[in-house]
Amino acid sequence: GQQVMQIPQYQHVQEGEDFTTYCNSSTTLSNIQWYKQRPGGHPVFLIQLVKSGEVKKQKRLTFQFGEAKKNSSLHITATQTTDVGTYFCAALVGGQNFVFGPGTRLSVLP
Amino acid sequence: NAGVTQTPKFRVLKTGQSMTLLCAQDMNHEYMYWYRQDPGMGLRLIHYSVGEGTTAKGEVPDGYNVSRLKKQNFLLGLESAAPSQTSVYFCASGPGTNLPQHFGDGTRLSIL
C-alpha cells in the first residue's frame, strides 16, 4: 500500500496566491525528496531534506521537514503560471525502496 | 551533455509480444532505476541497480526483467507483454546515495 501520502490531490490557485502541499508518513523517515513534473514531462529533482526540523528555500519555494521526520511540506509564495505541474515527495522506506507519494497537481489560473 | 536518454519514446505492442527498453546515462552514476507511472499512482519502482552487474527488485517487479551489463546502460525487458503493463516508463540515475536525481524523458508503452 501507499506508504507516503500527499495532500491535497489537486489544488487550483489564482496567480499570485500561495500554495502548500503536504507529505505524510506513518513511519519515521531518514530523509525526504521533492520533485516537480510538468504536464507531459519527466520528474525533476528539487531538493533533499535530511535533518529534523530542517527548512530550505529556493527562491519562492520553501521546504520543511517535520520535527518527528514523519512529514514534510512544500510552500510556494506568490505562484506563477510556470509553477504548474505535479509535485511529488519521495522517501526511502524500509531502508531499501525509494517510494514516491501520489503527488499534488497544481493549476495556476492567470 | 545528454544526461539520461531513453529509447524508444513510444511503442505499441500486442499482448504476448516482448520488447526491451533502453536507458543510457553519461554522468557515471552508480545507481539506476526503472519506474512506471500510472494516472493517480505517482511513480512505482520496478527494479533498480546499485552498480554494474547488479540488479534488485523494487515495488512492482513482476513481469519485468532488467540487466546492467555496462555501468552506463540499464535495460528493462518485458518477456510477454500484458495490457496491465500499459504505462509511462521512466528511467533515472543518481550518485551512490540511493537518490534518483536525473530522469529520462520517458517511454509511453501501450499494450493492446
* Furthest CA-CA distance within chain A: 42
B81 within 8 A of B19, measured Cβ to Cβ: yes
In three-state secondary structure terms, B85 is helix
Query: Is B45's CB within 8 Å of A98's CB?
Result: yes
Q: Is the dihedral of CA A93, A99, A104, A106 positive or negative?
A: positive
Residue to mutate among B91, B98, B105, B107, with most A CBs inside 10 A, is B98
- Cβ contacts of A98 on chain B, cutoff 8 Å: 33, 45, 48, 98-100
pLDDT tens digits, A31-53: 899 999 999 999 999 999 999 99
pLDDT tens digits, B75-105: 999 999 999 999 999 999 998 766 888 999 9
Residue in chain A lying closest to B50 (CA): A96
pLDDT tens digits, B42-60: 899 999 999 999 999 998 9
User: What pLDDT does B69 receive?
Assistant: 95
Q: What whole-number distance in Å separates Cα of residue A49 and Cα of residue A32? A: 5
Closest CB to A42: pick one of B42, B56, B104.
B104
pLDDT tens digits, B5-26: 999 999 999 999 999 999 999 9
Closest CB to B42: pick one of A42, A48, A103.
A103
Above 70 in pLDDT, residue A95?
no
pLDDT tens digits, A58-93: 999 999 999 999 999 999 999 999 999 999 999 987
